[in-house]
Structure 1
Amino acid sequence: MKILIVSDTHRQNKNLFEVIKKVGPLDLLIHLGDAEGSEDRITLEADCPVEMIAGNNDYFSDLAREKEIKIGKYRVLLTHGHFYYVSVDTENIKTEAISRQFDIVMFGHTHRPLLEIEDNIIALNPGSLSFPRQSNRIPTYAIMEIDAKGEAHFTINEYKGKREE
């Protein structure tokens, strides 16, 4: 099973659509908020099931603020992250996920990629394909793959195309 995880595209979808073509076929696309009205276009382009939640800039969206999904044997919390102060650190979001018995928490908001694998929780932020904020400013996305034994493997990938301004 192959899952593309993105966040914070902010209606600048060119890089996302190129990544979908490059890494496909996909079993699932997860968008962690701030699509800013592009939900239908993203869903049409994905050619696979899509899980999407609202971010802090999705003002007129009917998307849920959070979702609980199952990926293989894993309970996964999808949230944009701003309600958990992820711009400061990941302790609040990880504590919340652990207390609700999730195995994985996926979030966005910071526009900076992060993968923390601990004994009791995996925290993943794919960064942003449109407006990256980490020091090298290279757009990023994450891939989650479930192997034949049901184990999850994660990579954070840099988008090598031209960054949208």
Structure 2
Amino acid sequence: MDRERFASVACSIARTSGVVGDPWALLVLRDLFLGLTRYDELRRDLGVATNVLADRLDRLVDAGLVVREVYQRAPVRHDYHLTDAGRDLYGVVLALMAWGDRHLAPDGPPMLLVHDTCGHRTTPVVACDRCGGELTDDAVTVRPGPGGRHAPGTAVLAERLTGSVAG
């Protein structure tokens, strides 16, 4: 499937990965969360080719996750800032970081997180918004939602969730 087809899949994971399911896009988001906002800062930090960085920034802007603002007119230079939708990906980026720290960082985590409210070092977890309990694959039951349907990209899942086979 190409990126545009992900947008039509009746699955929020597919739709989201069509927007941010690329290492460069995730690293741009990471840097924006860490306060790097200028194109030159992003390029220097990531060591990415200018065409790749420009493409990822354009994609994030087009998706409504980032806004581009001119801070200099001659020559034109831009700052990039997260929108509310972009900031909503913070937990996703932290969850990916926590997984990488646990499974891919033999020398220890490259960055440590300190929760400003309590002052303690923290490891991100995905938690229930009602009771605060950690959400794990053996503690969650998935049920059909109003936007789900039997379609390419969700055919078998729709059958399992509804208990019926589309014909």
Q: TM-score w.r.t. structure 2 length?
A: 0.26
The higher radius of gyration belongs to 2
If each structure's strand is expressed as a fraction of its own residues, which one has the higher value?
Answer: 1
If each structure's helix is expressed as a fraction of its own residues, which one has the higher value?
Answer: 2
The answer to which structure, 1 or 2, has the higher relative contact order (CA under 8 A, 6+ apart) is 1
